Structure 1
């Protein structure tokens, strides 16, 4: 039976990327002066898994590169080599290299060969002792628990018969052993006592066991690491090899030949076929070994790999994640909701068969139950798309470490609220704006070590990422304890670039908003980090596209905080339906502060074209949607207007409407994709009666009003 291995490629890539994330996070936590053994073991296991998976699916370039990484890690974890900071940097570079190689393979492209080759040479130089590092002999003096290095090892390997069914193959383990010691220093003696007749042989079971000899100066932990994934599925012993065994390689090989000659004829035929299939894939291993590896499966795997490569060349795939991991609790909740929905549907179906007016009350109860079930099912489905924001935060420890070294700044990254959940779509789009903000805080916000000490601060600066829920939104804060925004310099640069008039006098809050203008930068020198005037305007634009807002709070000499507010999801909205003339509009419920009856006596006219209303010691501007969208003649007025007070971009606005309708959840449809972008409108939805209602963009309404010509601005609000 042939197996198409290409069906497992996507799972391999996803697990490999997760493994690389684990390696990176553990390496960033690693302190060379006090190495934690479990941390090194975790990094080693992640690398070993990637290597094994890559070898299984035929991605040999990844497997071979990971092998040298794994070898150095193994020497460190066994105590024969001391971890130094240069190794950490090299391991992090290898993580980047592997991530790039896997991304290319996932999209059907040929990986770059120069970078892996260059890094591989560095690893090999370290392993040969040619690069400056702590020598293994020095490490041994300090590590009393290191495994002894013998002249060779005698291994007894007795796997359980279901070994092959778990995805493990002895051939690959033997090939890995031979790579460790060299082709001439490896011998395997197969035991065929339990091999049944051909008629009783199952190709999915392993009937062989082996006595293995490896010769050379290799530590026991490196040998046992080869078998660590099958340790629970076999009997395995490893003893030092005697001098007489180490000098009898030729006689051992002769013994293998004699055993092969004594084997049944049909077994020899099968072994020859298996050997033919695997000869080009690895070291020379006795043919009896390959009897445990079915030739059909190997051939199918090679064919599948070739077919996948050819198909990928024709139609490259995106390397964007195409799956999401969901906890079993969420799946169970979804299944329960579906069960309740089926019961309700069955009840309504029975009512509909012989319906009469006496069953009206039961029908109403059934419809109410259907509405409740549908809402709960919707909430359960939406929860499946929710992911902890730690997925977005995970990139920043590495970014801060590398950028801190580049800028010569000591930086401590603090991450809070990592379990706060956010819609997967929003998560994917917020990553780049957060990167801009963190880089900006490190470059412009935090001072150099000398300046911090001179200002009476700690030499190490702090950058804090915090996420929490607030109402129907998620709030993400990026804070630093640096110098804060220099209002004088910002205003001077803005005037110099003609972004504001020369005689402009702005409040500190207004000056802070200038950093979001296109082309604005206070950097005196253009570098690869900042200074080109792009970044902050892109941040605000991207956040606005997510129906979110960003504001900045800064105190001179103490630091700055950027506050991002985003909707939890882009698909569903809790809305308040309002009537304006004969049109229905929807206000996001989270933006509504209150609704009141509008009184003429509370209105004040300013600049002849705008009205404001005093509401509890606060003046708020008044906006008329019917005037903005051209729904009424200029001389016509409301009879009994309602005022909906909303908050957008940290400012309150009063919007005049005819009437308040009900509240309901609506599914957001993009107006820009189906029609065009309209100022003051964030999207549309279809109501229960089939009509289309537009969703008001609260922050966009104020901006749209500011852009209106004076003669078209609302001159009266009631």
Structure 2
């Protein structure tokens, strides 16, 4: 591994503290509601306190900050905004006149008087502490903002590509194509940076390019040390790009050239001196080899299949599928991996605002077309040519809408790729052996949702590594593979995308969850919850079964963020677990935020849309299935299960056609692990509708999530099932003579 010169404790502490101050002052942590950001700040504080020589006066002030942070997280703070200001004031004292450093060294005090450097954002890459080179800045004139902006976007894409391919290279260091796939992005960044006179970025990219060129030529082996160097270079480039991006619109940018100089000084002494153990192949890996490396089939089986394929004039993959050894999906995945470095797709950059406007206008076009063709006067015309042209118009507009919506869709691959690096880092930090297996990376999802879903996946993977997977010793003791597996997949089902994340760890401890819930007052000792309802408690804010806080998890901040973010995306989240075998999370999300797949229903004279993701079934109830239960109100018995009856006409304030449940229609919905029956008059049909905002005045009306224009030009409100159920639970049961309560 690469050796980094040891830094003094005072220097490490002050630079780490500078990171903390910068996070708060520059808006990296948004405020008291940014729980993820606060969690990262707590990690920084604990890293400062862990040093033996950290001045005691620092620890005292930071302990106050920690208490204020934790009060905000656990919702115990009476005034979070006031506490937030106290935190900022305390930390500004550190970066101001240095009084809080009185018991520290002069070196630490001097360092804090210097403007905070972004170098602290990339730990473990700073060089010798004797020259303070990490605080040097390169001042770059920004003469062409558009060129700089394009460079930043392209460089970000290149860095994402590097992180993906470096992981593939780590699994097969002899893969020359993988080395080239890492080399080329650095070469591209270097070329454009030189043209734009971005000296620091140009120098860093050039030196790493040279290192990779040695690997390409076979002069050095691709070892863990080489991979660590490349990943550290990526981290520094991210810092430089962030500094460059923050300066857009200004006359010049200030880049951390000292950070690059320190890294290059370390790189200069880097010499693994490890000759190649075997010649490198220029050919892409064979399908059989890929399948063996993935653990899907034994080498002997591949050898036998190769012989059979040669006799029959078939391909190995065809033989393995034909014999039932592997599924077509397994072979297809290997084929995709084989050609992953050969395929390229031409693309053009389009302003996202223009794209959204196009999608909106196409939606309006579809609505207008339906309104024209459903006009009674137009329908009264019996001209055959008009009818033929109308059919053609419907076909063209439907295809136009499909294509325009597909423009919003991007593969979820970019989100999945980021998690490869995360798992690698968590594996090293936790001391556990972890492999990440992925499937369905090419599944497409609305581009607006791609980034939104990343944070929940990060929290779930951190939770799986820290809580779910056992240590190698524990796994060996119970007969498991020492290396734990996290499986991540995505697939499209109907109008939804299903994301599954599971691990093969210890599973959820129902007894421990119950004990913790009783301790926190979430349930009483007498409550007899079903296992699914018990598991659902892990999503409660601040809930954690971890006995001690680690760098990975344990503060109870994370899973509540997952649930909230998924619900904001109008999705569903379910968890299941088997003791000793692992835990499974399933996220069910709509493919796009612009269109919703819903059931159009009638309640009185009005029409409403119920999202199909929340709808389990619809039925006609018999008179005998309608019951009133003391203390529970009206209930419907569905297959021996009693479900609360929610009268939509009461909630929405309209006069229904039918008041008797056995005459009306029952819609069974699931919410918070419970089933409810919604009373409606009839179902008109299933339909995909374009979601329209209700405007600022109606945006926060409970029980409504938007509106949609139907084919006849009239508006139908889209129901928010969660809001309706919550209003029902909080408002108590509805009596027969009290039916005027509204959702709002």
TM normalised by structure 1 equals: 0.65
Q: Structure 1 residues 699 and 33, CA, compared in 2 at 3 Å: closer, same or farther? A: closer
2:456 is the counterpart of 1:413: no
In the other structure, the counterpart of 1:72 is 211
2:134 is the counterpart of 1:134: no
Q: What do the CA deviations read for 1:266-297 (whole angstroms, capped 9, x no partner)?
A: xxxxxxxxxxxxxxxxxxxxxxxxxxxxxxxx
2:259 is the counterpart of 1:121: no
Give how far 1:627 is off: 2.0
Secondary structure of the structure 2 residue equivalent to 1:26: helix
Secondary structure of the structure 1 residue equivalent to 2:470: coil
Task: Determine the C-alpha separation between the residues in 1 that align with 2:503 and 2:581.
Answer: 8
2:199 is the counterpart of 1:60: yes
Q: Structure 1 residues 517 and 111, CA, compared in 2 at 3 Å: closer, same or farther? A: farther
The 5 A counterparts of 1:289-304 are: none
Q: What do the CA deviations read for 1:152-180 (whole angstroms, capped 9, x no partner)?
A: xxxxxxxxxxxxxxxxxxxxxxxxxxxxx
In the other structure, the counterpart of 1:39 is 178
Q: Structure 1 residues 19 and 5, CA, compared in 2 at 3 Å: closer, same or farther? A: same
The 5 A counterparts of 1:92-107 are: 92-107=231-246
Q: Structure 1 residues 674 and 366, CA, compared in 2 at 3 Å: closer, same or farther? A: farther
In the other structure, the counterpart of 1:272 is none
2:388 is the counterpart of 1:391: no
Question: Is contact 1:471–1:590 with CA below 8 Å preserved after alignment?
Answer: no
Task: Determine the C-alpha separation between the residues in 2 that align with 1:632 and 1:609.
Answer: 24
Pairing partner for 1:540 from 563, 569, 572: 563
Pairing partner for 1:13 from 152, 164, 176: 152
Pairing partner for 1:87 from 226, 244, 252: 226
In the other structure, the counterpart of 2:168 is 29
In the other structure, the counterpart of 1:448 is 471
In the other structure, the counterpart of 2:319 is none
The 5 A counterparts of 1:549-628 are: 549-628=572-651
In the other structure, the counterpart of 1:527 is 550
Q: Structure 1 residues 143 and 642, CA, compared in 2 at 3 Å: closer, same or farther? A: closer
Task: Determine the C-alpha separation between the residues in 2 that align with 1:57 and 1:402.
Answer: 33
In the other structure, the counterpart of 2:720 is 697
Q: Structure 1 residues 73 and 476, CA, compared in 2 at 3 Å: closer, same or farther? A: same
Aligned positions, number: 514
State which drifts further: 103-112 or 560-569: 103-112
In the other structure, the counterpart of 1:168 is none
Give how far 1:96 is off: 1.6
Q: What do the CA deviations read for 1:192-228 (whole angstroms, capped 9, x no partner)?
A: xxxxxxxxxxxxxxxxxxxxxxxxxxxxxxxxxxxxx
Question: Is contact 1:680–1:701 with CA below 8 Å preserved after alignment?
Answer: yes
Q: What do the CA deviations read for 1:584-642 (whole angstroms, capped 9, x no partner)?
A: 21122454444433332222332344333333454443221012234359x96579322
Pairing partner for 2:459 from 421, 426, 436: 436
Q: What do the CA deviations read for 1:68-109 (whole angstroms, capped 9, x no partner)?
A: 211222233233334332221121011121123223323435
Q: Structure 1 residues 672 and 548, CA, compared in 2 at 3 Å: closer, same or farther? A: farther
The 5 A counterparts of 1:176-255 are: none
In the other structure, the counterpart of 1:373 is 396
Task: Determine the C-alpha separation between the residues in 2 that align with 1:532 and 1:53.
Answer: 44
Q: Structure 1 residues 655 and 358, CA, compared in 2 at 3 Å: closer, same or farther? A: closer
2:446 is the counterpart of 1:423: yes
Task: Determine the C-alpha separation between the residues in 2 that align with 1:485 and 1:595.
Answer: 34
Give how far 1:66 is off: 1.1
In the other structure, the counterpart of 1:212 is none
In the other structure, the counterpart of 2:20 is none
In the other structure, the counterpart of 1:465 is 488
Secondary structure of the structure 1 residue equivalent to 2:585: strand
Q: Structure 1 residues 112 and 35, CA, compared in 2 at 3 Å: closer, same or farther? A: farther
Task: Determine the C-alpha separation between the residues in 1 that align with 2:474 and 2:255.
Answer: 44
Question: Is contact 1:624–1:714 with CA below 8 Å preserved after alignment?
Answer: no
Secondary structure of the structure 2 residue equivalent to 1:394: helix
Question: Is contact 1:705–1:713 with CA below 8 Å preserved after alignment?
Answer: no
Give how far 1:535 is off: 0.9
Q: Structure 1 residues 715 and 453, CA, compared in 2 at 3 Å: closer, same or farther? A: farther
Task: Determine the C-alpha separation between the residues in 1 that align with 2:670 and 2:727.
Answer: 15
Task: Determine the C-alpha separation between the residues in 2 that align with 1:457 and 1:321.
Answer: 50
Question: C-alpha root-mean-square deviation of aligned residues, in Å?
Answer: 3.7
Secondary structure of the structure 1 residue equivalent to 2:552: coil
Question: Is contact 2:620–2:662 with CA below 8 Å preserved after alignment?
Answer: no
Task: Determine the C-alpha separation between the residues in 2 that align with 1:555 and 1:357.
Answer: 62
Secondary structure of the structure 2 residue equivalent to 1:614: strand
Give how far 1:6 is off: 4.9
Q: Structure 1 residues 461 and 678, CA, compared in 2 at 3 Å: closer, same or farther? A: same
Task: Determine the C-alpha separation between the residues in 1 that align with 2:685 and 2:172.
Answer: 64
Gaps of at least 5 residues in structure 2 are 1-142, 281-348, 740-744
Task: Determine the C-alpha separation between the residues in 2 that align with 1:672 and 1:491.
Answer: 43
Secondary structure of the structure 2 residue equivalent to 1:61: helix
Task: Determine the C-alpha separation between the residues in 1 that align with 2:467 and 2:684.
Answer: 49
Task: Determine the C-alpha separation between the residues in 1 that align with 2:507 and 2:245.
Answer: 43
Q: Write 1 or 2 for the structure with the bigger share of strand.
A: 1
Q: What do the CA deviations read for 1:402-443 (whole angstroms, capped 9, x no partner)?
A: 111000010010001111111111212111111111111111
Question: Is contact 1:576–1:586 with CA below 8 Å preserved after alignment?
Answer: yes
In the other structure, the counterpart of 1:308 is none
Task: Determine the C-alpha separation between the residues in 1 that align with 2:686 and 2:379.
Answer: 32
Gaps of at least 5 residues in structure 1 are 146-319
Task: Determine the C-alpha separation between the residues in 2 that align with 1:556 and 1:713.
Answer: 47
Secondary structure of the structure 2 residue equivalent to 1:513: helix
Give how far 1:401 is off: 0.4
Q: Structure 1 residues 38 and 687, CA, compared in 2 at 3 Å: closer, same or farther? A: closer
Q: What do the CA deviations read for 1:532-569 (whole angstroms, capped 9, x no partner)?
A: 22111111011101110101101111110011100111
Secondary structure of the structure 2 residue equivalent to 1:81: coil
In the other structure, the counterpart of 1:680 is 703
Secondary structure of the structure 2 residue equivalent to 1:563: strand
Q: Structure 1 residues 628 and 358, CA, compared in 2 at 3 Å: closer, same or farther? A: closer
Q: What do the CA deviations read for 1:499-529 (whole angstroms, capped 9, x no partner)?
A: 2224323222111011011121112222332
State which drifts further: 460-469 or 642-651: 642-651
**Which has the greater radius of gyration?**
1
Task: Determine the C-alpha separation between the residues in 2 that align with 1:466 and 1:45.
Answer: 29
Question: Is contact 2:244–2:255 with CA below 8 Å preserved after alignment?
Answer: no
In the other structure, the counterpart of 1:211 is none
Q: What do the CA deviations read for 1:224-274 (whole angstroms, capped 9, x no partner)?
A: xxxxxxxxxxxxxxxxxxxxxxxxxxxxxxxxxxxxxxxxxxxxxxxxxxx
In the other structure, the counterpart of 1:160 is none
Secondary structure of the structure 1 residue equivalent to 2:545: coil
Q: Structure 1 residues 53 and 542, CA, compared in 2 at 3 Å: closer, same or farther? A: same
Task: Determine the C-alpha separation between the residues in 1 that align with 2:151 and 2:476.
Answer: 49
